[in-house]
Amino acid sequence: MSASLAPPSATAPPADANLSPRQVLMVAIACGVIVANLYFAQPLIGLIQGDIHLPPAAAGFIVTLTQIGYGLGLLLIVPLGDLLENRRLIITALLSSLLALLALASSQDASSFLAAAFLIGLTCVSAQVLVPYAAQLAPAWPRG
C-alpha cells in the first residue's frame, strides 16, 4: 500500500508557519478595525448628510450602500480565498480598502461619497479571509 502526498495548495501556509501571541493580537485588532469601517458612519449620518449635501430622505443610502458592498464582497471576493493565495488576496483587499477610505475622506459630493462607501463595504471582507488564514498559521493545539 502506498501513500501519496498531495501537492501543497495555493492557500496552504508555509510548513514552518506559527503565530506568536503578538501576531494573534495584531490579527484581532486588524479584524476589529476592518469591520468597524462598516459601522463608523451610522451614528454620524446626520452630520455626513449635511456635509455632502445629501437630501435627508436619502441619508440612509450611506449605510445601505456600505452593507450592499459588504454583501457582494462576501459573495464574490471571499470565495476567492479558496482559489488564490490568501496572503496576496488579503493584501490586495486591505490596499483597496485603504484607497476607498482615502476616496471617502476626500469626496466633496454625495455621489463620490456613496461610491466610496460602497467600495469600503466591498473591501472590508478582508477580515473574512484573514481569520481563516490566521487559523491555518496557528499551531494545532490551540485551534480546538
70 or 53, higher pLDDT: 70
Joined grid coordinates for residue 121: 463595504
Residue 35 CB neighbours (<10 A)? 15
- Render pLDDT for 81-123 as a digit per residue (tens, 0 to 9): 889 888 899 999 999 999 999 999 999 899 999 999 999 999 9
Task: Name the amino acid, one letter, at 143.
Answer: R
Query: Cα angle vertex 18, ends 128, 33, to 5°?
Result: 35
The total domain count for the chain is: 1
The answer to whether residue 1 is domain-embedded is: no
The answer to whether residue 35 is domain-embedded is: yes
The answer to whether residue 5 is domain-embedded is: no
- Render pLDDT for 56-87 as a digit per residue (tens, 0 to 9): 889 999 999 999 999 999 999 999 988 988 88
Radius of gyration of the chain (CA): 19
Does pTM top 0.85 for this prediction? Answer: no
